[in-house]
Structure 1
Amino acid sequence: MQAARAEMLAHPQVREMIAEAATWPGYALKRHNDAKHPLYKFSTLADFGVRADDPGPALSPSTSLRINVVEGMAAGIKAVMAHQSPEGAFQILVNIPRAFGGTGEDTWTWMLCDAPTLLYALLGLGMGEDERVQRAVEHLVGLVDDNGWRCVAAPELGKKFKGPGRRADPCPIVNVYALKALSRVPELLDSPVTRTGAEMLLWHWEHQAERKIYMFGIGTTFRRLKYPFVWYDVLHVVDVFSRFPFVHADPRFQEMVETITAQADETGRYTAGSMYRAWKGWSFADKKNPSPWLTFLVSRVQRRIGS
């Protein structure tokens, strides 16, 4: 196991990601599903099992990113934790156009479609004992409503600021992000908060033919296998659900799992049905050949739920 881990950390693509994470904030985020943004480098490194004290490369292997990274992951984490809002959420550098209620300028702020991903990454990287991270957890827990997490943002963005949906509706992707973050907090694995978020997503699956919520629908695109976990799709949702034992016996969850397992080839391997071009070169961003990582992710879900 230790040898495999050392090999993973030494892989050029992983070391490149560590180097990119150290450049946080990288650039201002303009759309929440920008798969090349350092936000998703952090969350993917957490998925891979990288830890806060893992060493980074002395020099990035990329010819386009020549940067010394002597602190490894610690450099990026320090930069992230330097920007925590008074409310408790960690902030991200964003640029919201005036047409969407922003200033059109780069601004440090938080929204529930970004902050939980940063929190998930910090928890996954082993920062859960830090009081600043614990405060961010408390903040996220405190924002859940009776129908799940809604489209909520920092006070400085104004009370009218929200995504394209009904104000009283929960936001599907926010609930995925929030549950994923809280899955890293053992005492919350079976709690009223996580049960509320889970029921929101299960309800959406059950009523998928009725309407979209905040423009998130459940159709052909949702059912395609895709990684990294950036947006609202079946493998992302199922992977998150598999972390919560109280969901495993729910028929709606089992239907989601069957949607995935039906996509296996004759040898039980899985191939991406969609990909992010920013991740071209990784096995999970290849729609022609089976991906060891996607196959592992599905196998891990099956192991978690005992199937």
Structure 2
Amino acid sequence: MTIYLPIAELPVAIFSIFAMGIAVGFISGMFGVGGGFLMTPLLIFTGIPPAVAVASVSPYMAASSFSGALSYLRKGMVDLPLAGILLAGGGVGTVCGVALFTWLDTIGQVDLIIRLSYTVLLGGIGFMMLAESVRAIIRTRHGGKAQVRRPGTHSWVMRLPLKMRFRRARIYVSTIPVVALGWMIGLLGAVLGVGGGFILVPALIYLLRVPTTTAVGTSSVLTVATMAAATVLHAASNGTVDAVLAFVLMIGGTMGAQFGARTGQTIRPDYLRLLLALLVLSVGLRVAFDLVRTPADRFVVTHVETPE
């Protein structure tokens, strides 16, 4: 059964897209990640134009993160002042990202930049996660203990000016790196269609020394806000949000996340990180392969409007 995507301007098998939403939702629930960094490349692999894939994943990410954000808010695991400053930077980053996306689209380079960015981003993160998880497994097998970094440990970040105390996160830190982190996540979300949690959470934990549960909860709030803003801006500026595609992905993702969360609770954390590292690395390598392989259609005819 096929369905026509009005913005992508092509017919797709609805059950394939639905199954993709279930699969990525399952992975998101099992590993505790947003899944946008996997959904966008998978949509591109199926023939969806990268510009439409990035914009249409934004509402999927906002919807999939909304329930998690509410849950963390109810449990008091969100530092609202920290989230507010991150959102300030994230809002500016989202506007900058959409402007950059629009500019790249006008010069015809948005597809190439998206593919190159995913190759570098997923490849780098995948290798780092793989090395860290292998070291953790080896350390566990030899009877070693994981190194725990206490909140509030001093580093170069702590010596920056404009400090502010975040009581829920138990840190006293400059607002400069907080705003910078929010800006970077907003920019990545707008340009690549990723929630940024797989970057923001480690940064909050290892750079700012925020407790893990508070970092995850605060990150989920930022993901909802930045992805919702990116959806509106993409729809208004570029018209690349395919509502039909996003709706099918949302339904599948919501269903898959429930089963993934149950499965993830039965797997050891170190092996869970190893599986996620291999998954991220494999997707990054596939995107890199698509960049260098000979395309099926070597010539593409496009219509370019010129000013009169």
Is TM more than 0.5 here? no
* TM-score interval, normalised by the smaller of the two chains: under 0.3
More helix by share: 2
Higher relative contact order structure (alpha carbons within 8 Å, sequence separation ≥ 6): 2
TM-score by length of 2: 0.25
Q: Which has the larger radius of gyration?
A: 2
